[in-house]
Amino acid sequence: MKRYVVGVDVGGTNIKLGVVGPSGEVIVRNSFATKPFASHRNKLIAALSREIEASIITAGLTRRQIAGVGIGLPGLVDFEKGAVRFLPNIPGWTNVPLKSILQKTLKLPVYVDNDVKMITLAESQFGAGRGVKNFVCLTLGTGVGAGLILNGELYRGEGNAAGELGHMPLNEQGPRCNCGGWGCFETYVGNRALFGLASRVMKKPGMTTPMMFALAKKGNKKALFYWKTAAERIGNGLVGIVNLLNPRLIIIGGGVSHNEKFLFKTITATIRRRAMRLQGRAFKIKRAEFKDDAGIIGAYVLVMNAQR
Q: What's the closest the beta carbon of residue 114 comes to Zn ion, in angstroms?
A: 16
Angle at 308 (CA atoms; ends 63, 132), nearest 5 degrees: 120
Total chain residues near Zn ion (CB under 5 A): 5
Q: What's the closest the beta carbon of residue 271 comes to Zn ion, in angstroms?
A: 21
184 is an interface residue for Zn ion by CB under 5 A: yes
Spatial contact of 128 and 110, defined as CB atoms under 8 Å apart:
no
177 is an interface residue for Zn ion by CB under 5 A: yes
Q: What's the closest the beta carbon of residue 197 comes to Zn ion, in angstroms?
A: 18
138 vs 177, beta carbon nearer Zn ion: 177
- The stretch among 83-91, 159-167, 198-206, 257-265 that binds Zn ion (CB under 5 A) is 159-167
- The stretch among 54-62, 130-138, 181-189, 247-255 that binds Zn ion (CB under 5 A) is 181-189
211 is an interface residue for Zn ion by CB under 5 A: no
- The stretch among 11-19, 71-79, 115-123, 160-168 that binds Zn ion (CB under 5 A) is 160-168
- The stretch among 4-12, 146-154, 162-170, 225-233 that binds Zn ion (CB under 5 A) is 162-170
181 is an interface residue for Zn ion by CB under 5 A: yes
Q: What's the closest the beta carbon of residue 171 comes to Zn ion, in angstroms?
A: 11
11 vs 174, beta carbon nearer Zn ion: 174
d(CA 297, CA 2): 16
167 is an interface residue for Zn ion by CB under 5 A: yes
Q: What's the closest the beta carbon of residue 185 comes to Zn ion, in angstroms?
A: 8
Spatial contact of 249 and 135, defined as CB atoms under 8 Å apart:
yes
149 is an interface residue for Zn ion by CB under 5 A: no
Applying the rule CB under 5 A, the residues between 233 and 262 that interact with Zn ion are none
- The stretch among 49-57, 104-112, 169-177, 229-237 that binds Zn ion (CB under 5 A) is 169-177
Tell me, letter by letter, the H, E, C secondary structure of the chain.
CCCEEEEEEECCCEEEEEEECCCCCEEEEEEEECHHHCCCHHHHHHHHHHHHHHHHHHCCCCHHHEEEEEEEECCEEECCCCEEEECCCCCCCCCECHHHHHHHHHCCCEEEEEHHHHHHHHHHHHCCCCCCCCEEEEEECCCEEEEEEECCEECCCCCCCCCCHHHCECCCCCCECCCCCECECHHHHCHHHHHHHHHHHHCCCCCCHHHHHHHHHCCCHHHHHHHHHHHHHHHHHHHHHHHHHCCCEEEEECHHHHHHHHHHHHHHHHHHHHCCHHHHHHCEEEECCCCCCHHHHHHHHHHHHHCC
129 vs 166, beta carbon nearer Zn ion: 166
179 is an interface residue for Zn ion by CB under 5 A: yes
175 is an interface residue for Zn ion by CB under 5 A: no
Q: What's the closest the beta carbon of residue 245 comes to Zn ion, in angstroms?
A: 20
97 is an interface residue for Zn ion by CB under 5 A: no
The residues of the shown chain that bind Zn ion, judged by CB under 5 A, are: 167, 177, 179, 181, 184
